[in-house]
Structure 1
């Protein structure tokens, strides 16, 4: 794979802009150095030598530091952090949740972007299964390209939940697969795909809540935020019942129609946490200007949790933004 396939042209452009500004700063500092030198040469050469030593360090640091630490940081971001999966726990409280729901262990993962059943995927399976989840929720974007489907089915076949594994499909899944075929193959490895529909989850005697799924279907007039797909997903779900909504793109939490159905929690993915944890450097990725990169937000007075995902896309690296498995704990107030 060539460098321009790994680093898109926009990345090269931004890298050139950064290099230009670094060069500009060096030129400004060098000009200041020349002016100061002229002043101190009049007052004594020894004092000037001490000053110029420090100024040389300041001027050369922007050049030397990337040369010294760049390869180390690059190796960490490319090889170490993408495989260093973090398990986080998030608790959400609502009076409409049924009593007994606190005993459920719900695990959320998202954005696997699988290309092979490799080290990261093996660690994902091991970490998820060690949590002994009752329910696993997967928020879409299983693959990066057509070749990823067979490895991802292998990953999914190894995930174990006491009750069920529910998934929705993301935009990338529709780019490289047919919906009906994906649903059939996932069913074969024990995954139930919620394509604009809901399932009832029993909790204790005559108590339950709902998990509602909105897959990110693409096509003519088929964008999954369209009103008809939201209505279809919530069909048969009583408004007064507790419900969790699974979406791929977190901006769907902004949809006014959700006030009609009033989910108590929205779980999303898609944005990978930005892949880079430093805002300035994030401009090298596709995530610089996206809202809801990762973590908990409150949108239309309801909680939205955005998982940082497992895989990577566009840039094959992560920096200060580890892959995430989320343990979702629900409690009645």
Structure 2
């Protein structure tokens, strides 16, 4: 190989590497974080009442508005929810990435948009660690309430249909709140179908000891960046063991579902880890 050929190939190789690097950056920053997929799961149980067979609920999680997730993405999300038309909507925490950085005008816009999210049996939400952070505890509660979402903070509510009911419980955030699981399900309700919303998925190792059939969580973002062989790049505390997907724990058993969520935090990238909306359908066994 002569000098001219060597320099030509070296230059082309350098340009190729730079292009690949920029292309990877652009994809992980601009394309994949906005390439939302809908993940559908059937949940089977003998405890599901016959009238709830085919009942659907939609889980949203970890929008982290203000960090690479804005009002445009929120508009697209609302349109998708309307098309899916779920019976129940559940938000499992981390609405805003840093509540202290959002202005009152921006909060008003967020309320206006969230108010367009509708379902036949109500909208419920729980705190995530970012909701409590940045002095956001009261502000996020005000925003969600104004938008028509009911907070479940160590509380249980009955979702009723045709004379039957299932129980929906919500736990305060495990990292920055004061979670209390012991009194969520009365003894008289232990044989009913019981769902728990808990932001941090690894709390399922505690939940499995209580009379719950399902736990819905977020928090982990599915690792946010996944690399072949290496695996998950970003796994927060209490989102390290159960990072994504579904798991079966305990003797009842407890079915754990972990959403990859919609937004990003720490780094404004997603790679091989698309954001997701989770749609569940109840099936009486």
Are the aligned partners of 1:143 and 1:152 in contact in 2 as well (CA < 8 Å)? Answer: no
Q: Could you say what the CA RMSD is over the residues aligned between the two structures, in angstroms?
A: 2.9
- Which of 257, 260, 263 aligns to 1:308? It is 260
CA shift digits 1:282-328 (9 cap, x unpaired): 56534598221111112224210001101000010111111101111
2:193 counterpart residue number: 242
User: Aligned partners of 1:290, 1:173: CA distance in 2, in Å?
Assistant: 20
Q: Which runs of 5+ in 2 are unaligned?
A: none
User: Aligned partners of 1:332, 1:99: CA distance in 2, in Å?
Assistant: 6
Shift of 1:236: 7.2
The 5 Å alignment of 1:2-13 reads: none
Q: Give the number of the structure whose alpha-carbon radius of gyration is greater.
A: 1
The number of residue pairs the alignment matches comes to 271
- Which of 202, 218, 235 aligns to 2:160? It is 202
User: Aligned partners of 1:172, 1:280: CA distance in 2, in Å?
Assistant: 30
- Which of 62, 87, 101 aligns to 1:147? It is 101
The 5 Å alignment of 1:107-122 reads: 107-115=58-66, 117-122=70-75
Classify the secondary structure of the residue corresponding to 2:274: coil
1:156 counterpart residue number: 114
CA, structure 1 residues 119+238, in 2 after alignment: closer, same or farther (shift >3 Å)?
Answer: same
User: Aligned partners of 1:218, 1:283: CA distance in 2, in Å?
Assistant: 21
Q: Confirm whether residue 212 of structure 1 aligns to residue 166 of structure 2.
A: no
User: Aligned partners of 2:232, 2:259: CA distance in 1, in Å?
Assistant: 20
CA, structure 1 residues 66+305, in 2 after alignment: closer, same or farther (shift >3 Å)?
Answer: farther
- Which of 247, 258, 263 aligns to 1:297? It is 247
Shift of 1:83: 0.9
Q: Confirm whether residue 138 of structure 1 aligns to residue 91 of structure 2.
A: yes
User: Aligned partners of 1:310, 1:216: CA distance in 2, in Å?
Assistant: 19
CA, structure 1 residues 155+306, in 2 after alignment: closer, same or farther (shift >3 Å)?
Answer: farther
The 5 Å alignment of 1:1-333 reads: 66-115=17-66, 117-145=70-98, 146-148=100-102, 150=107, 151-205=109-163, 207-216=164-173, 223-224=178-179, 229-235=180-186, 238-255=189-206, 258-259=208-209, 261-279=210-228, 284-286=233-235, 290-300=240-250, 301-333=253-285
Shift of 1:180: 4.2
Flag the structure with higher strand content: 2
CA shift digits 1:4-54 (9 cap, x unpaired): xxxxxxxxxxxxxxxxxxxxxxxxxxxxxxxxxxxxxxxxxxxxx7xxx9x
For normalisation by structure 2, the TM-score amounts to: 0.84
Shift of 1:161: 1.3
Are the aligned partners of 1:168 and 1:213 in contact in 2 as well (CA < 8 Å)? Answer: yes
Are the aligned partners of 1:117 and 1:155 in contact in 2 as well (CA < 8 Å)? Answer: no
User: Aligned partners of 1:299, 1:217: CA distance in 2, in Å?
Assistant: 19
Q: Which runs of 5+ in 1 are unaligned?
A: 1-48
Pick 1 or 2: higher relative contact order, CA cutoff 8 A, min separation 6. Answer: 2
Flag the structure with higher helix content: 1
For normalisation by structure 1, the TM-score amounts to: 0.73
